[in-house]
Copies of this chain bind each other. A is one copy, B any other.
Amino acid sequence: MSTDSNVPGRWVEENHDDQYRFGFRVTKELFSGQSDFQKVEVVETAGHGKMLLNDGLVMVSERDEFVYHDMMAHVPLFTHPDPKRVLVIGGGDGGTAREVLRHPYVEHCRMVEIDDMVVESCRQHIPLTSSVFDHPKLQLDIADGVKFLAETDEKYDVILIDSTDPIGPAAPLFGTDFYKNVYRALTDEGIVVAQAENGFYEQEAQVALVKIVSELFPICRLYNYSNLTYPGGLWSFLLSSKKFHPVKDFVPDRVTSSGLDFKYYNEDIHRASFAQPSFIRKAVAPYLKDGAQ
């Protein structure tokens, strides 16, 4: 451990507002391309395995992808008592769909990703997440998720909004119009989970999303996770539900008796992830219809 780099070569580095920056050392560049939506890169790193970057921001690393994908998929799939049809918007690396399809009672998982280059670069270089693309229960569409949800007549038990930050191609995924269509595409017992930013650095965006979604859904709850490759300590998902409460209606025994073994998620983490630090609890409480977070 030192404060100076001793090894020459490229680092992929995020610089946030010239206030803080963090980076990972690259040992090999595996793919680089410019799609219609963003710059897409896959690199091999010195300590975090292969890594996918969109517009220079880390999306997924092999070392810690299990944290994000476990928490996005298993919290709603163990809240809903019988999820059969699941829709993933985004999630082009495949990790979220992979975790969804570990649940044997899920009959159909549809994935709508806008950027073919993300899918194809992951298919070629990151089989850890992309091997799911060949799963017989998966239907993969390269299409605009916003348009798909505006037009579809299908109904889903669980919808997962596996998006990048609310800039660039993912910006509409943080808006009211989009969530009205999400609501419409869910069954009467449906649950939606969305990537919901960071409570320290992006509290304004987080609260804005809670405010929009809580106007549509009777139950909204932020829940947290921490991984290695996103800066800011506490990252959140927003779970919004028409009927089932993710803590009050959660049955821990469904997890322990499932026979599934998760590297991050478990029945304790499920409940604990909904506990919020006071500064987040205070910021979102005014927008929750059913009482404090």
- Residues on A lying within 8 angstroms of B by beta carbon are 1-7, 11-25, 45-48, 56-57, 64, 67, 167, 200-201, 224, 226-228, 231-234, 261-266, 268-269, 271-279, 281
Contact of A2 among B15, B23, B48, B263 (CB under 8 A): B15
Given A3-B15, A22-B20, is A266 in contact with B277 using a C-beta cutoff of 8 Å? yes
Contact of A264 among B1, B57, B278 (CB under 8 A): B278
Question: Are B16 and A1 within 8 A (Cβ)?
Answer: yes
Extra inter-chain contacts (9) besides given A1-B16, A17-B47, CB under 8 Å: A1-B57, A17-B46, A19-B45, A200-B228, A226-B226, A227-B233, A262-B278, A264-B278, A266-B275
Interface of A is mostly: loop
Residue on B nearest A1 in the bound complex, by CB: B16
Contact of A18 among B12, B46, B264 (CB under 8 A): B46
Chain copies in complex: 2
Question: Are A23 and B25 within 8 A (Cβ)?
Answer: no
Q: Closest Cβ of chain B: how far from A256's Cβ, in Å?
A: 11
Most chain B CB within 10 A, of A4, A21, A264, is at A21
A262 neighbours in B (Cβ, 8 Å): 278
A19 neighbours in B (Cβ, 8 Å): 24-25, 45-48
30 A-B residue pairs with CB within 8 Å = A1-B167, A2-B15, A2-B56, A3-B12, A3-B13, A3-B57, A4-B15, A5-B15, A5-B18, A19-B25, A19-B47, A20-B24, A20-B25, A20-B48, A20-B228, A21-B22, A67-B233, A67-B277, A224-B226, A228-B232, A261-B278, A264-B278, A265-B277, A268-B275, A269-B277, A269-B278, A271-B275, A272-B272, A272-B273, A272-B275
Given A22-B231, A277-B266, is A17 in contact with B1 using a C-beta cutoff of 8 Å? yes
Contact of A5 among B21, B25, B268, B272 (CB under 8 A): B21
A233 neighbours in B (Cβ, 8 Å): 64, 67, 226-228, 233
Most chain B CB within 10 A, of A1, A13, A265, is at A1
A1 neighbours in B (Cβ, 8 Å): 14-17, 57, 167
A275 neighbours in B (Cβ, 8 Å): 266, 268-269, 271-273
Q: Closest Cβ of chain B: how far from A119's Cβ, in Å?
A: 23
A17 CA / B1 CA spacing, docked (Å): 5
Most chain B CB within 10 A, of A12, A16, A272, is at A272
A234 CA / B225 CA spacing, docked (Å): 9
A6 neighbours in B (Cβ, 8 Å): 18
A13 CA / B275 CA spacing, docked (Å): 32
A11 neighbours in B (Cβ, 8 Å): 21
